């Protein structure tokens, strides 16, 4: 049986009211005079869940209908409440609806800006514009019952009964919850149990679903890419690892297959910047050379990153690092430092098993020789078979290890290799569940192959490599 929806549940729709003293958020479902609601004092910033809120706001007209509490943020002028004002359903995973966030509103606690100087007003306006620009990003996703922050395997592998007693926000994987600090800022140290129903974890990334028919059999293909909240940054400006072991642009990608009989299987991969202290700040050159900082403790922070990946939270027994950077030219120094540092720390990772495989992608695949990627697949074929995938069937099988892929940007070259690994796993899963016969490949089926070959929406950047 799949994990049951969380208890207590998270409110899906609320009416938002405001007075000179308070904000009120009243759940739409089963609204009544004695309905419990969220009360936020605009002066003291105290947050409580109170009974009888329905009667208090009965004479007030709701200023807006909202779909969740995103948190709060403090700028120069004071505190702002962040509310999810529009969502769009994009599909379901194991019968649990998932949504894309379409709009987030900022509501000030203060009534005016008379307490600010003209300079403060100008800066506050700039900060509001910056926050709103980010909140308008297209990558925020949420679910009121399915934990999008965690893999399907982790939801099953942990103590289900204990986990099902926790609220959705409490059991979410904080690595991928982008509004965690904002929710904590809003609710502070309040220990009220009823607050759980207003805490909504939101991830940032990409989710796509496709219904597929192969050999007359249906299944639902889902791809979720979760971007880590720590280490986010733009290309060139943010590279490498920090002192906490977090790497730039760390992403966990999960491929989920849902079958008509209610079973599901999944396969997880990760990507992230090379876990060393290095930079590549833009200059007048098209491709600035990487610069390594040898003064910082590269080995210690490299080790911290790998220990984090292999932690109890991630539940991987083994890790294969696939490094796709050039073996010559400006990237060569980074390659040598990666291998020498890995040699220093690998013995400290026991009993976990960690491997480093380097493949000169540009050299091996020059002149569009994409067939030479088979050289890399042959090198890691035994790992692919050993790692396997997760299945929810009665004979629960677990993914035993994970591939961590990187190039310099962890974009184009990484996308190609991750799509190939995903394809290999998909063929294993579809064969196991009787969708395809042993020996059949994804490319044998036009619709399925089209999804991979032209899936630039899945593996962003593959269009630059010829859509192969």
Q: What is the DSSP string of 69-109?
A: EEEEEEETTEEEEEEEEEEEEEEEETTEEEEEEEEEEEEES
Question: Does residue 434 share a domain with residue 392?
Answer: yes
Q: Would 14 be classed as within a structural domain?
A: no
Whether 87 and 99 have beta carbons less than 8 Å apart is answered as yes
One domain, residues 385 and 291: yes
Q: What is the pLDDT along the chain (468 residues), one digit of tens a residue?
A: 434 444 457 899 999 999 999 999 999 875 555 678 999 999 999 999 988 888 888 888 877 899 999 999 999 999 999 999 999 999 999 999 999 999 999 999 999 999 999 999 999 999 999 999 999 999 999 999 999 999 999 888 766 656 667 889 988 999 999 999 999 999 986 656 688 889 999 999 999 999 999 999 999 999 999 999 998 888 788 899 999 999 999 999 999 999 999 999 999 999 999 999 999 988 877 789 999 999 999 999 999 999 999 886 667 889 999 999 999 999 999 999 999 999 999 889 887 899 999 999 999 999 999 999 999 999 999 999 999 999 998 666 899 999 999 999 998 899 999 999 999 999 999 999 999 999 999 999 988 888 777 654 455 444 444 445
| Residue 158, pLDDT score | 66
Token digits of residue 245: 């072991």
The reported pLDDT for the residue numbered 32 is 55
Domain boundary among 198, 220, 249: 198
Distance separating alpha carbons of residues 200 and 71, to the nearest angstrom: 9
Shared-domain flag, residues 190 and 118: yes
In-domain check, residue 448: yes
What does the pLDDT read at residue 448? 87
Same domain, 169 and 306: no
Provide the pLDDT for residue 317: 85
Q: Are residues 192 and 218 in the same domain?
A: no
Q: How many domains is the chain partitioned into structurally?
A: 2
**Residue 13: inside a domain, yes or no?**
no
Tell me whether residue 238 is in a domain.
yes
Domain shared by 214 and 183, yes or no: no
Of the three residues 198, 219, 236, the one that is the final residue of a domain is 198
If asked whether residues 150 and 290 sit together in one domain, one would say no
Give the tokens for residue 237: 């400006």
Closest CA relative to residue 356, chosen from 309, 404, 410: 404
Please report the pLDDT score of residue 192 as a whole number.
Answer: 65
Residue 466: predicted pLDDT: 47
Q: Does residue 457 form part of some domain? A: yes
Whether 228 maps to a domain, the answer reads yes
Identify the domain boundary among 143, 170, 198.
Answer: 198
Residue 164 and residue 76 share a domain = yes
Q: How many CB atoms lie within 10 A of CB 375?
A: 11
Could you tell me if 214 and 163 lie in one domain? no
In a shared domain, residues 122 and 210: no
Q: Is the same domain home to 318 and 452?
A: yes
Establish if 336 belongs to a structural domain.
yes
Classify residue 45: in a domain, yes or no.
no
In this prediction, residue 278 carries a pLDDT of 96
> pTM here?
0.91
Is residue 265 located within the same domain as residue 147? Answer: no
How much is the pLDDT for 337?
Answer: 98
Beta pairing partners, 18: 23
Domain that holds residue 85: 68-198
| Among the listed residues 235, 132, 223, 228, the one whose alpha carbon sits nearest the alpha carbon of residue 178 | 228
pLDDT in the model for residue 462: 44
pLDDT of res. 459 = 53
**Per-residue pLDDT, 2:** 39
């Amino acid at each position: 049986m799949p994990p049951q929806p969380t208890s207590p549940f998270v409110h899906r729709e609320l009416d938002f009211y405001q007075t000179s003293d308070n904000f009120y958020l009243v759940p739409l479902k089963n609204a009544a005079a004695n309905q419990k609601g969220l009360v936020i004092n605009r002066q003291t910033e105290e947050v409580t869940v109170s009974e009888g809120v329905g009667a208090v706001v009965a004479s007030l007209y709701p200023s807006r209908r909202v779909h969740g509490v995103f948190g709060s943020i403090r700028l120069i002028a004071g505190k702002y409440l962040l509310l999810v004002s529009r969502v769009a359903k994009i599909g379901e995973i194991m019968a649990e609806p998932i949504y894309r966030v379409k709009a987030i509103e900022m509501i000030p606690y203060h009534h005016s800006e008379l307490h600010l100087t003209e300079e403060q007003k100008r800066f506050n306006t700039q900060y509001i514009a910056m926050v709103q620009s980010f909140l308008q990003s297209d990558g925020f996703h949420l679910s009121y019952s399915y934990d999008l922050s965690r893999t399907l395997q982790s939801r099953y592998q942990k103590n289900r009964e204990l986990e099902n007693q926790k609220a959705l926000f409490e059991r979410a994987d904080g690595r991928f919850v982008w509004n965690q600090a904002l929710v904590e800022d809003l609710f502070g140290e309040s220990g009220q149990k009823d607050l759980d129903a207003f805490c909504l974890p939101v991830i940032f990334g990409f989710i796509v679903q496709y219904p597929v028919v192969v050999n007359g059999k249906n299944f639902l293909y889902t791809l979720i890419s979760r971007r880590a909240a720590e280490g986010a940054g733009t290309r060139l400006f943010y590279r490498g690892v920090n002192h906490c072991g977090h790497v730039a642009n760390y992403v966990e990608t999960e491929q989920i297959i849902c079958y008509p009989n209610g079973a599901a299987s999944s396969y997880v991969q990760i990507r992230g910047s090379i876990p060393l202290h290095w930079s590549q700040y833009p200059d007048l050159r098209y491709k600035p050379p990487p610069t390594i900082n040898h003064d910082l403790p590269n080995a210690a922070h490299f080790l911290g990153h790998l220990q984090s990946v292999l932690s109890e939270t991630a539940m991987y027994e083994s890790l294969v690092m696939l490094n796709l950077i050039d073996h010559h030219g400006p990237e060569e120094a980074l390659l040598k430092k990666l291998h020498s540092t890995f040699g220093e720390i690998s013995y400290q990772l026991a009993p976990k098993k960690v491997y480093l495989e380097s493949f000169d992608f540009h050299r091996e695949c020059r002149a569009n020789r994409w067939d030479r990627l088979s050289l890399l697949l042959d090198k890691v074929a035994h790992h692919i078979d050993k790692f396997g995938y997760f299945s929810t069937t009665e004979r629960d099988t677990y993914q035993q290890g994970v591939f961590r892929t990187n190039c310099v940007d962890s974009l184009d070259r990484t996308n190609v290799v991750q799509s190939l690994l995903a394809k290999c796993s998909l063929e294993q899963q579809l064969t196991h569940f009787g969708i395809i016969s042993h020996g059949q490949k994804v490319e044998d089926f036009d619709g399925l192959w089209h999804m991979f070959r032209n899936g630039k929406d899945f593996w962003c950047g593959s269009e630059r490599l010829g859509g192969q």
